[in-house]
Amino acid sequence: MDTQKASVKKIALNYGLLLGLASILLSVVTYVMGVHLERPWWASLLGIGIMVLFIIYGLKAFKSENEGFLSLGEAIKVGLAISLIAGIVSAVYNYVFVSFIEPDFVNQIMEMTQQNMIEQNPEMTEEQMEMGLSISRKMMTPGIMSAMAVIFTLFIGFIVSLISGLVMKQNRPEY
């Protein structure tokens, strides 16, 4: 029996690039609105919602190209591949944004972090504050920020793929 297998690579590339571009668009919108530093709850929720939709549509496309069959393993593989490509596209954009478009971004975030530390714990000593800020500063390099974005995208992609795969699962009958 000859069965045609859908292409994970093709689906992941298409939906991953579209998801990456949608994420960039959301980042540009928050930047233009001037809320990119605070990252409001609605922007985070919208970003996760967009990710969920693109992964689900990618899984549906894979399932339809795979004669209506989708195993849990295939769902996770396709979802993670979509997430990886979108994460890389977003990370490249974030690196360019932090390095060239808004080179003062890290300093602005550090100022906000210091203000939040003072507001949340006014009794904090100068040494404690400097220690906290130095740890934050190390985490705010463009490379680490980009890597964390990819890891976060993969984590959310795994969860969405797992749940969607369990719901959409349709195993091939064994003969």
Q: Per the domain annotation, does 59 fall within a domain? A: yes
Q: Over the Cα atoms of the chain, what is R_g?
A: 20
Q: Letter for the amino acid at 90?
A: S
Residue 1 resides in a domain: no
Q: 70 has which bridge partners?
A: 170
Residue 174 lies in a domain: no
Q: In 10 A of CB 105, how many CB atoms? A: 19
Residue pair 51/19 in contact (Cβ under 8 Å)? The answer is yes
Cβ contact 20:13 at 8 Å:
no
Tell whether 30 is covered by a domain. yes
What's the pTM value of the predicted model, to 2 decimals? 0.90
Domain count, the chain: 1
Is residue 42, in this structure, part of any structural domain at all? yes
Domain membership of residue 144 as a residue range: 8-168
Gap between the Cα atoms of 18 and 12, Å rounded: 10
Is 142 among the domain residues?
Answer: yes
CA atoms of 41 and 169, how far apart (whole Å): 32
Q: Per-residue pLDDT tens for 164-173?
A: 999 999 988 8
Whole-angstrom CA distances from 144 to 8, 38, 50, 97 are 29, 19, 24, 14
Q: What mean pLDDT, rounded, does the chain reach?
A: 92
Task: Dump pLDDT digits (tens) for 52-105.
Answer: 999 999 999 999 999 999 999 999 999 999 999 999 999 999 999 999 999 998
Q: Does the residue 143 lie in any domain? A: yes
Structure confidence at residue 4 as a pLDDT band (50, 70, 90): low
| DSSP-based three-state secondary structure for 170 | strand
* SS3 assignment, position 64: helix
Please, what sign has the CA dihedral across residues 32, 37, 41, 47? Answer: positive
Residue 131, domain member (yes or no): yes
**For 101-151, what is each residue's pLDDT tens digit?**
999 988 898 898 889 888 998 888 889 889 988 888 888 888 898 899 999
